[in-house]
Structure 1
Amino acid sequence: MKDLTISLIQANLHWEEVDANLAMFEEMIWSIDHTDLIVLPEMFTTAFSMNPERLAEPPGGKTFKWMRQMATQRKVALTGSYITKVQGKYYNRLYFVFPDGTSVFYDKKHLFNLADEGDHYSPGSERLILEYLGWRIHPLICYDLRFPVWARSQRNSNQLFEYDLLIYVANWPDTRVNAWDTLLKARAIENQSYCAGVNRIGEDGVSKKYNGHSAAYNAKGEELAFSNNEEKIMTVTLSANELTEYRKSFPFQKDSDDFELK
């Protein structure tokens, strides 16, 4: 496993304007040099909208084709979530597209019912842990951050850790950003993993305000990158050796509890 360079794009999303957001992110993506993985916010084409009937795309639709084009042209992996319709149901779906154009996806498990997300979207039921450049990566979406069991790295007979990097893409309002800051760091520490979170800035179409705080932490919970309320691209290199040595020196995972997700 070699070092992994990731780029976190914190931006002010255009409310329910797919083309405007794709154009904005395309320009930002082409400005990035020397990275392995680019991370976009939750619902990066529309912002956090409860109007999936108007905005949802089928698998393989416009946004997916755009993601695949960006990944293959820039020779990087690209991830972020957008609104998808499958067999009459709507999902807040994250795609992880590899540089060769292949992809995997994760449907948001924990729907934010304070904003009626559960009235409009169906929840996912499967965790996704993928491998890229020798790194095992576990991508999740926004409200999932509040549920540590869903993200818990479990040990088994073959390996002590399920993953090396935990990613959250989000539209997390400024009024609760303290929880975002605290829980990102906690997820890194308790799982002895790198943890990165990408949030948006600005104000959405229902007057919710966002102040970013996109960040990356190492397995000790130490801050590697952070951005407050500004449009910014943060690129940081994650050290494979540092992670391996820390896990060897402090093998807390060996004492973790066994449990089963249902």
Structure 2
Amino acid sequence: MQDKLKINLIQSNTIWKDISKNIQNIQQKINQISEETDLIILPEMFSTGFVIEPEEIAETMNGKSINWMQQIACKKNCAITGSLIIKENNNYYNRLVFIEPSGKIKFYDKKHLFSHVGERNIYTAGSIKKIIEYKGWRIAAFICYDLRFPVWSRNTENYDIALYVANWPKPRINAWNSLLKARAIENICYTIGVNRVGTDGNKMEYIGHSQIINPQGNSIKKSTVTTEDIISTTLYKAEILTNRTNFKFLDDRDKFTFQN
């Protein structure tokens, strides 16, 4: 068990539907990380952009992006995570993949699909909340639109980190900032949000605001640019434990059974 976790957030400009160029671009960013790290986090659909026509670019769990992630995890001796388009059993998933240094894969399929642009008509929703255990830390994995649904994010599992990877557009960036802070406060956990930058194939603009928020709702580190960026920091287990000991708000949380 580690009492601290070194993390790096990659705020990238995703190239529309070009897996090879996106991998190359992110590889260049990762090469800039000179110090040892425990976890590298990429945005939602980091290899393609937020695509609603996945037929020609969907990958498998043995595809190019997964193989590349495994190589990174091994070479850097760290975990790497981000979401991508996966085809499995004739269904398409917006899947967050978490790969450990050993090559072991864990994953979470996005529960809340963005009906506003038709994501729910193309992709299959996940139904299982995923808590990833890594180096003594419990990480709750979420994707973009999940951020708007506090019941799904509710910390009933005593997780340490709520992780949101996203393609969250500029017109709604205020909601992104506010909801990330709310999730940290109500769940007494670190909250990490990793967003992309640039303009996608649908002319939607993204301005980043990738950030890490502590259990009191204060920003530890936030990108100050609307271009590509690497955000690095260290999380401390003691900060979570101190807050939960001094402020036992989770003891009074509502009991409920989640129904799909």
Bin for the TM-score computed over the shorter chain: over 0.9
Once the two structures are superposed, residues 136-167 of structure 1 have per-residue CA deviations (whole angstroms, 9 ceiling, x without a partner) of 0011000000001001011xxxxxx5200110
Once the two structures are superposed, residues 218-243 of structure 1 have per-residue CA deviations (whole angstroms, 9 ceiling, x without a partner) of 00000011114121100010111121
In structure 1, what residue type is equivalent to 2:189?
S
Match of residue 15 from structure 2: 14
**Structure-to-structure mapping, 1:110-125, within 5 angstroms:** 110-125=112-127
Once the two structures are superposed, residues 71-95 of structure 1 have per-residue CA deviations (whole angstroms, 9 ceiling, x without a partner) of 0111010000000000100000010
Match of residue 176 from structure 1: 172
Match of residue 243 from structure 1: 240
In structure 2, what residue type is equivalent to 1:7?
N
Matched, 1:189 2:213: no
Unaligned runs of 5+ in 2: none
CA distance in 2, matches of 1:94, 1:242: 27
Match of residue 252 from structure 1: 249
8 Å CA contact 1:201–1:212 kept in 2: the answer is: yes
8 Å CA contact 2:36–2:76 kept in 1: the answer is: no
Match of residue 162 from structure 2: 166
Match of residue 41 from structure 1: 43
Unaligned runs of 5+ in 1: 155-160
CA distance in 1, matches of 2:36, 2:61: 29
Percent identity over paired residues: 48
**Which TM-score applies when normalising by structure 1?**
0.96
Match of residue 88 from structure 1: 90
Please give the root-mean-square deviation of Cα atoms over the aligned residues, in Å.
0.8
CA distance in 1, matches of 2:216, 2:36: 26
Give the Å deviation of 1:34. 2.1
TM superposition outliers: structure 1 runs of 4+ over 6 Å: none
Match of residue 135 from structure 1: 137
Give the Å deviation of 1:119. 1.5
Match of residue 73 from structure 1: 75
8 Å CA contact 1:30–1:74 kept in 2: the answer is: no
**Structure-to-structure mapping, 1:140-159, within 5 angstroms:** 140-154=142-156
CA distance in 1, matches of 2:47, 2:20: 8
**Which TM-score applies when normalising by structure 2?**
0.97
| Matched pairs, number | 256
Give the Å deviation of 1:210. 0.5
